[in-house]
Amino acid sequence: MPTINFSLKDLQNLVGKKLTVEEVSELAEYGKGEFEGYNKEEDEVSIEFGDTNLPYLWSVEGVARLFKGILGLQKGIPKIEINKGGYKVIVDSSVSKIRPYISAFVAKGHKVDDYLIKQMVQLQEKLCESFGRRRLKVAIGVYSYDKIKFPVYYKATNPESIKFVPLEFKKEMTQQEILEEHPKGKEYAWTLEGFKKYPILVDSDDEVLSFPPIINSNFTGKVTEGEEHLFIEATGNDLEANLLAMNIMAQAFYERGFDIYSVDIDYENKKVTTPFLFKDKIKVTNDQIKSLLGLELKNAEVKRLLEKAQYDVTSNVQIPPYRKDILHPYDVVEDIGIMYGYNNIKVQELTSYTIGETYPMVRFRDKVRDLLVGLGFQEVFSPILTNKNVLYDRMNIKDFGTIELENYMSKTYSCLRTWILPILMKFLSKNKHVEYPQKMFEQGLVTVRKGDDVIDYERVAVVSANDKADYTEIRQVLDFILRSLDVDYTVEETDHDSFIPGRVGRVVVRGKKVAYIGEIDPKVLVNHELGVPVVGLELNLSDLFEVAKKERT
Amino acid sequence: MDEEKLIQTLHTYERKVLPVLSKVSILSEVAKESELQEIEAMRGLQWLENKGIVKISEEVKEIADLDVNGKEYLEKGLPERRFLNVVRKDTPLSKVVKDANLAKDEINICLGVLRGKAAISIKKGKELIVSALPQAQKLLEGESLEEIFLRRSFPVSIGDLKEEEKFAFDNLRKRKNILKIETKKIKKAVLTELGKKIISKGIKMEDTYDRLSPKMLKDGSWNDKRFRRYDVKINVPKISGGKKQHYRRFLDDVRTKFLALGFKEMEGPLVETEFWNMDALFMPQFHSARDIHDAYCVKEPKYGEVDKKILEKVKASHEIGKGTISKGWQYKFDVNKSRQLILRTHDTAMSARTLASSDLQVPGKYFQTVRCFRPDVIDASHNVEFYQTGGFVIEEGLTFRHLKGLLRMFAEEFAETDQIKITPAYFPFTEPSAELHAKHPELGWIELAGSGIFRPELVQPLVGREVPVIAWGVGLDRVAMFKMGIKDIRELFSHNLEFLRGSTII
């Protein structure tokens, strides 16, 4: 979620009203923003905006616009004037499969200073990163207008054919070199993966403006303090997002004091003039307001609230051109609710009676936990993510079906646990310095892969570590649990490499194998650097529950 | 406790050591006098100290004891005496050595010492010739300070030596293997004022019982003896019993609360399809929260199964808002992406499953408390596994006002406050969306829960019609940490046994 920083003084100038930090914090809530702080020395306010579908708020101009609406300083859709510019961007069909869309405008007549450049970059970057899906959907460039000779050409070329000096670099590079060497090239190369040609933006003198969506040229693409005229463009693979990004930028520049001039985009088979102000509208009824918010509002009140939220109201609700987040009338109704004030909406209690209940399995596993606590075992609760070394290598056995993660951050947590006993062994190995006897258990989910099936089981694992730990001790625990649960069982001889041969049993209930039980093999103890004998069991509660249920019916 | 009662608490060991304390104070002597093992005497003294009857102090002392040669000389006499015994006039040294049976280094010492005391004279010829002088007889008749010193009792504290003893000690310690010197910690016990009073009352070796035995119960012998009084205020060694894990217990409490409030519990798989985790919640497939970095993807199998019918409905809702008056997200829905397997990233996945289930009850209240997973770098405040509780209430006629009612109930039940604030928020699956904040006496406003009303585009394809569904979700880790006073999020899944044994139940 983007965090926006700006000067409080600047905000006040744009709003046209003095605001305290507390007022800013409260007003930000209307835009689903969370006030993060105010740096008095730098006069800098930080607000985190939660709604990724409202990118217009990611600039101080957008925030000021919202505040003006709430404060009643401005009603309905805010004004924007677009002068006919007659500038041309000619789009070559070579980009149609790579990065088909471009929109642009020219902003003139306002001197830029350092702060303003920072604000421009902030809006540009947030739009590209979050809303623009890391530049794939939308990437924006801002240029020094005076250095450009129109028309501008947008085309795709061979990566080795053109050389130019990228922003903040000294030497000329080909597009291929930029992708391989320039930090931005490396960061965004993925957006061009698989293409043989790369997009480029050049002017009529063949001067490179930029290599979208990677980097501007150092000549035209560098805006410095004192300049007054700018050229702004957005490219991408989503036309609507592209147009919206330009509308948001144009509205912000307009409110900042620039004159906005349109640019004609010539595609091979169509012409579009941008900024293209959407004139979206939607019908919202009083019934919808009542059924969603529980508010019965008069038409005039609805109109007042909608205008506060900066919609125009005719027979329909007109949506401002910098918003594309309205899919359903409820999206507008929410804004009505916000402007009415969530805290002014009266509480209504839930009145229907329902019965609280849980799964029988939940009660079953809790009974087992209670029994083990009664036997003096300490409960352990561990991460479910672990690694194959813990599950298999250290336990002296082979992988029996593991769900591994594709994009783990650390190898330590790279798969789901398939059994719990290893987790308790790891626990013991971490607590060698603590007083013995150590008795613990963990109840929880394990996940096992069987071919293309992924199965969760509720399991419980129990260990006891002490000088005299032996099979009898752990068998008594098993016996106590199963007798208490009224389950008949038998134990069969079995082989399991985590246990001492001849001292490991398979517990069977109604033909179903539900548990391993025995003395842990010294090899496993050595793997865990343990100096005392350990006995343990692992019981499949999901299976036990199923067969135990049958037994009773 | 008055003195009489105090006397009744005294254990046999205490009764034995107490009377001797008016004579001796060093532990070894106390043990000897009271006819106890040193360890028994020490325990008796410690118990007495706990009761304020004695004061135990510890001194570091240099202790001298007889070494090998010292023990030998005590028996046979010092070499110089043995030397003098065989020396006459003009005795060759070889004869002296033979007769007195002395080692070479002992001879050298004898020659030095005796010449110093003017008891012998030495002539040098082919070999050394020794003659006894008149002083020799005198020495033989008397006893030297060194000899007296050797006969005293050992070990002895060097600090306690008298002046002549000190002189002899200094001479002997220079000689080989006569004395060995060690530093020792000496425990000493002295009676306090209370102790003196108690002694003055007289301590008898009373016939008291320490323990009640089955035999005593059987033969009735308990009847004629008294049980030694215990100091019930005494500190005892710690024990550890079986205990539920602290975080799991907290989660149990949360579940119990929801059950009591009439909510039905939901459960679902850890490994979930993107469909149930996100698509079914009307989160568009190009949404930024769906980037690969926000969910753990499963290596194999890559894909799971999703019911075709429901998949088609959700797809149409995403694409064109089919079934509602929404225009949808207006993009091409990728069915394959839907089938991708991930670890569930939030509890709401199960709400979607329940809404689509044929068991859904309307009106109905549902909840879950489940473990969720999101990739992150683990540190004191971030974990990749965390617990969320969430759920929904489904009923005809519910509005935002009921959502507020529900949130107020949560604040009262879970945070024990009615001071709440509800602010606008954004969640991709609810419209409107709201956040619940509650006022905490120390922390001020804290965020308690995210909530909202499920979008019609979500509800329609799952339930088959539009019904209001109020939904909420809460991250539990932080609440639990706050309640339990835990500062490091990793301690929720602690593998520190001492920490678990010491954890309190709240």
**Contact A383/B493, CB-based, under 8 Å?**
yes
Segment A16-22 long-range contacts (CB within 8 Å, at least 24 positions apart): A16/A68, A16/A73, A17/A71, A17/A73, A19/A67, A21/A45
Give chain A's count of helices (H) and strands (E).
16, 27
**Contact A445/B270, CB-based, under 8 Å?**
yes
Which residues in A lie closer than 8 A to residue B455 (C-beta atoms)? 328, 330
Q: Which of residues 315-344 of B touch A (CB under 8 A)?
A: 321, 324-330, 341, 343
Residue A449 CB partners (closer than 8 Å, separation 6+): A401, A402, A403, A455, B300, B301
Among A137, A334, A424, A426, the residue to mutate for chain B (most B Cβ within 10 A): A334
Higher pLDDT pick, A289 / A359: A289
Distance CA A475, CA A489 (A): 12
**Contact B264/A409, CB-based, under 8 Å?**
no
The tens digit of pLDDT for each residue in B290-302 reads: 776 689 999 999 9
The tens digit of pLDDT for each residue in A211-254 reads: 999 999 999 999 999 999 999 999 999 999 999 999 999 999 99
Residue B288 has pLDDT above 80, yes or no: no
Question: What is the rounded average pLDDT of the residues A501-523?
Answer: 96
Residue A531 has pLDDT above 90, yes or no: yes
The tens digit of pLDDT for each residue in A320-331 reads: 999 999 999 999
The tens digit of pLDDT for each residue in B26-79 reads: 898 899 999 999 899 999 999 999 889 999 998 888 888 889 888 888 888 888
Domain A281-344 is found in CATH 3.30.56.10? yes
Of A366, A434, A456, the CB nearest to B498: A434
pLDDT at residue B207 in the model: 66
Q: Measured on CA atoms in the order B249, A419, A489, A500, is the torsion positive or negative?
A: negative
Distance CA B402, CA B409 (A): 10
Of A327, A369, A416, the CB nearest to B270: A416
Q: Does B426 touch chain A (CB under 8 A)?
A: yes
Pick the residue from chain A with its C-alpha nearest to B302: A452
Helices A299-308 and A286-293 meet at what angle, rounded to 10? 80
Amino acid letter, residue B52: G
Residue B206 has pLDDT above 80, yes or no: no
Which range has the worst mean pLDDT, A446-450, B10-14, B159-163, B487-491?
B159-163
pLDDT at residue A23 in the model: 96
Looking at B51-153, list the stretches that DSSP marks H as alpha helix, in order from N- to C-terminal side.
68-76, 79-86, 93-100, 104-116, 134-141, 145-151
Which residues in A lie closer than 8 A to residue B327 (C-beta atoms)? 327-328
**Contact A378/B240, CB-based, under 8 Å?**
yes
Please, which pLDDT band fits residue B393 given cuts at 50, 70 and 90?
A: very high
The CA radius of gyration of chain B, in Å to the nearest whole number, is: 46
Question: What is the rounded average pLDDT of the residues B451-473?
Answer: 97
Strand order in the sheet with A453-465: A378-379, A438-450, A453-465, A534-540, A512-520, A499-509, A490-493
pLDDT at residue A143 in the model: 96
Pick the residue from chain B with its C-alpha nearest to A423: B495
**Contact A350/B402, CB-based, under 8 Å?**
yes
| Residue B393 · residue B468 · CB < 8 Å | no
Task: Give the Å distances, CA to CA, from B323 to A55, B25, B85, B289.
Answer: 28, 97, 129, 25
Higher pLDDT pick, B353 / B376: B353
Please, which pLDDT band fits residue A61 given cuts at 50, 70 and 90?
A: very high
Percent helix, percent strand, percent coil in chain B, to nearest 5: 45, 25, 35
Residue B110 has pLDDT above 80, yes or no: yes
Residue indicated by tokens 């500190």 = B235
Asked whether the domain spanning A281-344 has the same topology as the one spanning A3-70, the reply is: yes
Residue A458 CB partners (closer than 8 Å, separation 6+): A361, A365, A443, A444, A445, A540, A541, A542, A545
The tens digit of pLDDT for each residue in B464-503 reads: 999 999 999 999 998 888 888 888 999 999 999 999 999 8
Instruction: Give chain B's mean pLDDT.
Output: 89
Of A330, A375, A404, the CB nearest to B299: A404
Which residues in B lie closer than 8 A to residue A342 (C-beta atoms)? 400, 404, 422-424, 434
Distance CA B256, CA B263 (A): 10
CATH topology of domain A82-274: Phenylalanyl-tRNA Synthetase; Chain B, domain 3 (3.50.40)
Burial class (CB in 10 A: 0-12, 13-18, 19+), B57: exposed
> Any idea of the CA torsion for B453, B458, B460, B463, to the nearest 10 degrees?
-90
Please, which pLDDT band fits residue B98 given cuts at 50, 70 and 90?
A: confident
Of A327, A343, A369, the CB nearest to B328: A327
Residue A551 has pLDDT above 70, yes or no: no
Helix H or strand E segment including A477: helix A471-484
Taking the CA of residue A444 and the nearest CA in chain B, the distance in Å comes to: 10
Q: Does B459 touch chain A (CB under 8 A)?
A: no
Q: Does B245 touch chain A (CB under 8 A)?
A: yes
Helices A471-484 and A360-374 meet at what angle, rounded to 10? 140
Residue B239 CB partners (closer than 8 Å, separation 6+): none
pLDDT at residue A553 in the model: 59
Distance CA B67, CA B76 (A): 14
pLDDT at residue B1 in the model: 62
Distance CA A536, CA A426 (A): 13
Amino acid letter, residue A150: F
**Contact B286/A137, CB-based, under 8 Å?**
yes
Of A52, A53, A384, the CB nearest to B385: A384
Q: Which CATH architecture has domain A3-70?
A: 2-Layer Sandwich (3.30)
Distance CA B102, CA B96 (A): 8
pLDDT at residue B293 in the model: 63
Higher pLDDT pick, A53 / A460: A460
pLDDT at residue B172 in the model: 87
Residue B105 has pLDDT above 90, yes or no: no
Residue B125 has pLDDT above 80, yes or no: no
Please, which pLDDT band fits residue B423 given cuts at 50, 70 and 90?
A: very high
Residue A157 has pLDDT above 80, yes or no: yes
Taking the CA of residue B208 and the nearest CA in chain A, the distance in Å comes to: 35
| DSSP helix/strand/coil, A466 | coil
Please, which pLDDT band fits residue B122 given cuts at 50, 70 and 90?
A: confident
Phi, psi of B103 (to 5 degrees): -80, 170
Among B288, B303, B394, B420, the residue to mutate for chain A (most A Cβ within 10 A): B288
Ramachandran area for residue A453 (φ above 0: left; ψ -120 to 50: alpha; else beta): beta
Burial class (CB in 10 A: 0-12, 13-18, 19+), A488: exposed
**Contact B497/A133, CB-based, under 8 Å?**
no
**Contact B498/A378, CB-based, under 8 Å?**
no
CATH of A360-552, one of 3.40.50.1820, 3.30.930.10, 3.40.50.1400, 3.30.420.40: 3.30.930.10
Q: Domains plus CATH for chain B?
A: 3-59+183-214 (1.10.10.10), 68-182 (1.10.10.10), 247-502 (3.30.930.10)
Which residues in B lie closer than 8 A to residue A316 (C-beta atoms)? none
Distance CA A304, CA B147 (A): 119
Looking at the DSSP assignment, which residues form a beta bridge with residue B382?
B379
Q: Which of residues 192-221 of B touch A (CB under 8 A)?
A: none
User: What percentage of chain A carries pLDDT values higher than 90?
Assistant: 95
Looking at the DSSP assignment, which residues form a beta bridge with residue A386?
A415
The CA radius of gyration of chain A, in Å to the nearest whole number, is: 33
**Contact B401/A346, CB-based, under 8 Å?**
yes
The tens digit of pLDDT for each residue in B371-381 reads: 999 998 899 88
Which range has the worst mean pLDDT, A500-509, B144-153, B368-377, B493-502?
B144-153
**Nearest Cα to Cα of residue B488 among B474, B499, B473:** B499
Taking the CA of residue B409 and the nearest CA in chain A, the distance in Å comes to: 9
Pick the residue from chain A with its C-alpha nearest to B458: A328
Residue A87 has pLDDT above 90, yes or no: yes
The tens digit of pLDDT for each residue in A242-294 reads: 999 999 999 999 999 999 999 999 999 999 999 999 999 999 999 999 999 99
Which residues in B lie closer than 8 A to residue A382 (C-beta atoms)? 493, 495
What DSSP letter does each residue of A330-388 carry, written as one string? HHHHHHHHHHH-GGGSPP---------B--HHHHHHHHHHHHHHHTTPEE----SEE-H
Of A137, A294, A383, the CB nearest to B401: A294
Please, which pLDDT band fits residue A496 given cuts at 50, 70 and 90?
A: very high
Taking the CA of residue B37 and the nearest CA in chain A, the distance in Å comes to: 29
Task: Enter the DSSP assignment of A79.
Answer: P
Which residues in B lie closer than 8 A to residue A30 (C-beta atoms)? 424
Pick the residue from chain B with its C-alpha nearest to A458: B269
Distance CA B455, CA B470 (A): 10
Which residues in A lie closer than 8 A to residue B285 (C-beta atoms)? none
**Contact A381/B492, CB-based, under 8 Å?**
yes
Domain boundaries, chain A: 3-70, 82-274, 281-344, 360-552
pLDDT at residue B83 in the model: 86
Distance CA A458, CA A309 (A): 51
Which residues in A lie closer than 8 A to residue B406 (C-beta atoms)? 350
**Contact A334/B395, CB-based, under 8 Å?**
no
Among A333, A407, A545, the residue to mutate for chain B (most B Cβ within 10 A): A407
Taking the CA of residue B213 and the nearest CA in chain A, the distance in Å comes to: 27
Residue B258 has pLDDT above 90, yes or no: yes
The tens digit of pLDDT for each residue in A126-143 reads: 999 888 988 999 999 999
Which residues in B lie closer than 8 A to residue A430 (C-beta atoms)? 495-497
Is the predicted ipTM greater than 0.85, yes or no? yes
Residue B24 CB partners (closer than 8 Å, separation 6+): B30, B33
